Chain A
Amino acid sequence: MAIKKPKVAVFKFASCDGCQLSILDAEDELLIIANAVDIAFFPEASRRMLKGPYDISFVEGSITTPHDVEYIREVRKMSRVLVTIGACATAGGIQALRNWKDIKEFTQIVYAKPEYISALDRSLPISSYVHVDFELQGCPINKYQFIEVMSAFLHRRRPNVSSHSVCIECKTKGNICVLVDKGIPCLGPVTHAGCGALCPSYQRGCYGCYGPMESPNTQSLSKHFIRLGLTGQDVMLAFRGFNAYAEAFRKESDAHEK
């Protein structure tokens, strides 16, 4: 009884490949995945490239060029389910820092022949251009969450990916809160869970790698950071990281920009 295996593809746009590496890092599970699905298109991992349509496409990276815009539309057409992975694909990534500056100025400084560069003036998430079925946040994504999302779509159930604060992960692990116990500024209360509270587990504040949580009150947290002695500039920089262009973080950093 030959059941046709679901065809899975992994695409890359403007990104550092870190999320794709997280997938490859799922060493123990990778063989099981390769058995259960047909990895039809994953250039980072294999030269074998099958044509679409695909049952699930995972998309890493942000849209930064006119070519990207055309290509993501094609990818959407070829994909039954489209899942974006990582801060670039869900929020524009660290490269979205250029959204606050003039891209032409950069290309003139960096490239010998800037006229060959065709770039959009902003780095934007995939959802700004096409419909996205599920966004998996994180810089980089958590490999277990990736496997969870894939299993969920394969077995037609809702992925168990919580969008509450990192604090809940911290407390479930029994970590002692670095914000309260040590006065270290921590973005955990406004950040989406998923990393397993990695930084607070090593007595560091959360950097917000997983982007805004479901109901982020960035304003109230910023006020507290200022009470702790941070300057407006510090607060601006805290929110202007890998998820700088995600709406809640963008508004908060803008509010503290002089």
Chain B
Amino acid sequence: MTSRQPTLKLKSQQLNTLINVIKQRGYTPVGPVVREGSLIYDRLNSADELPRGWTDEQDAATFRLKRRSDNAYFGYNVGQHSWKQFLFLPKVKLFTSIKKGKTFEVIPNSPHEIVQNYAFIGVRPCDLQAIKVQDLVFNNGQFTDPLYKTIRKKNFIAVVNCTQAGGTCFCVSMSSGPRAYRGFDLAMTEVLSGDDHFFTVEVGSKSGAEVMSEIPHDIADQTQIETADKLVERAARQMGRSMDVKDIKEILYANLENKSWDDVANRCLTCANCVMVCPTCFCSTVEDITDVTGEHAERWRRWDSCFTMDFAKVFGGNFRPSSKGRYRQWMTHKLATWIDQFGTSGCVGCGRCITWCPVRIDITEEMRTIRSGAR
């Protein structure tokens, strides 16, 4: 947008109108919902389905949903799911091939069956940064993943800035939150004060402006803007974790033989949960399958990880057989080699790998150990 738009104010009762307008414009809204006692991202039909009045308590290897004392719509941070599951599909058929006499015919998978024009509602600033990081991987001009590009082409992104931080959040360290500044259609901040419940809304794109023009709203006044800003500042002071990123790349490169890698390898299960939940991790593998007759073959792509043995298997063996080598690969890629590769950190500080590691391995702790014993 060229000229700066004024900050708008949306009454909380209008949240459902927002979802309806987004739907009418041909998007499939997706957002946080509670299913079987857990926080997930799924199709949203109305604002009533949002986890209103819920919050999350997070620490290494624990996530618990708890009731809040108020009725906030977005009073939690991030759950195990990320938007990655909609943009970089966990498992997707790439093509089918049918034997035709001595040759075969390839039938590409139609993206129309997959692409849903998603509207993401309630994207946290760290996760918005994660989407930008994956854009650099899958659609960087030089290399393009056609499926990713097609799915990303028609997205609507409604960010909700954080007014509280979770026990494993460290976006302040990674400069990715708790406020989003660009790259969204709308960025909202939820304000609950007394009986007043509203969102301040910043418009970040033409589609964002068009959506807002169809919903009754006001222009936010200075007090409302300041109240919202204070809440976001509060979140910034509440970070459950932190990471010193000064010279991080150089420190990691100089410490590839640090003894702490052996220690983390003793604890690491090589289960790959950290990779699966990380919103920026992008590795996949491709599997070719044939049926019993051999007439019909399919190529599938699915998420993979540097923690699996097959990942580094090449002719003649595996070049990363130890857990030490695999954990080190993951962490140094996230925090150091990513910077050389894509010009940004591969970590946005969302804290998922800390919360969802079954044995409490904490990337911020591991980094601190290396830094303190750095040679």
Contacts and interface: CB of A to CB of B under 8 A. Distances in A.
A37 B291 CA distance: 12
A160 B91 contact: no
A239 to B, nearest CB: 14
Contact of A214 (B36, B273, B309, B355): B309
Given A148-B289, A151-B291, A181 B80 contact: yes
A176 B81 CA distance: 8
Interface string A204-248: 000000000011110011011000000000000000000000000
Nearest to A37: B292
A183 B269 contact: no
B289 A189 contact: no
Given A176-B40, A176-B79, A167 B359 contact: no
Nearest to B272: A168
A171 B40 contact: no
Contacts of B37: 181-182
Interface stretch (B67-75, B181-189, B300-308): B300-308
B356 interface: yes
Interface stretch (A17-25, A27-35, A68-76, A90-98): A27-35
A163 B38 contact: no
Contact of A150 (B90, B292, B307): B292
Nearest to B42: A174
Contacts of B276: 167-168, 171-172
B302 A32 contact: no
A151 B287 CA distance: 14
Nearest to A221: B269
A36 interface: yes
Given A221-B269, A224-B61, A155 B294 contact: yes
A188 B110 CA distance: 34
A36 B294 CA distance: 9
Contacts of B80: 176-177, 180-181
B303 A165 contact: no
Contacts of A165: 269-272
Nearest to A172: B90
B5 interface: no
Interface string B272-297: 11001100000000011111111000
B214 to A, nearest CB: 32
* SS of A interface (majority): helix
A32 B303 CA distance: 30
B292 A188 contact: no
Contacts of A172: 90-91, 276, 302-303
Interface in A139-198: 147-148, 150-152, 154-155, 157, 160, 162-165, 167-168, 171-174, 176-177, 179-183, 186, 188-190
Contact of A220 (B39, B40, B64, B268): B268
Contacts of A128: none
Nearest to B273: A167
B359 A221 contact: yes
B323 interface: yes
A214 B308 contact: yes
B308 A164 contact: yes
A168 B61 contact: no
Contacts of A32: 291-293
A36 B290 CA distance: 13
B358 interface: yes
B206 interface: no
B283 to A, nearest CB: 11
B289 A151 contact: yes
A108 interface: no
A203 interface: yes
Interface in B291-329: 291-294, 302-303, 305, 307-310, 323
Interface string B77-91: 001110001000011
B62 interface: yes
A74 B308 CA distance: 36
Contacts of B27: none
Contacts of B323: 215, 217
B360 interface: yes
A214 B267 CA distance: 16
A37 to B, nearest CB: 7
A74 B290 CA distance: 31
Contacts of B355: 180
Given A174-B40, A174-B90, A220-B268, A215 B293 contact: no
B101 to A, nearest CB: 13
B51 to A, nearest CB: 13
Contact of A162 (B268, B291, B310): B310
Nearest to A203: B36
Given A172-B302, A217-B323, A180 B272 contact: no
B292 A164 contact: no
Interface of A: 29, 32-33, 35-37, 147-148, 150-152, 154-155, 157, 160, 162-165, 167-168, 171-174, 176-177, 179-183, 186, 188-190, 203, 214-217, 220-221, 223-224
Given A36-B294, A147-B292, A215-B309, 12 more contacts: A160-B287, A168-B271, A168-B276, A171-B90, A188-B271, A189-B269, A189-B358, A214-B308, A214-B309, A217-B266, A217-B267, A220-B359
19 contacts: A29-B292, A151-B292, A151-B294, A160-B289, A164-B272, A165-B271, A165-B272, A168-B303, A168-B305, A171-B90, A172-B276, A172-B302, A173-B90, A181-B63, A217-B266, A217-B269, A220-B268, A224-B61, A224-B359
- Which 5 residue pairs of A and B lie closest in terms of their CB atoms, listed nearest first? A171-B276, A189-B271, A176-B38, A164-B308, A189-B269
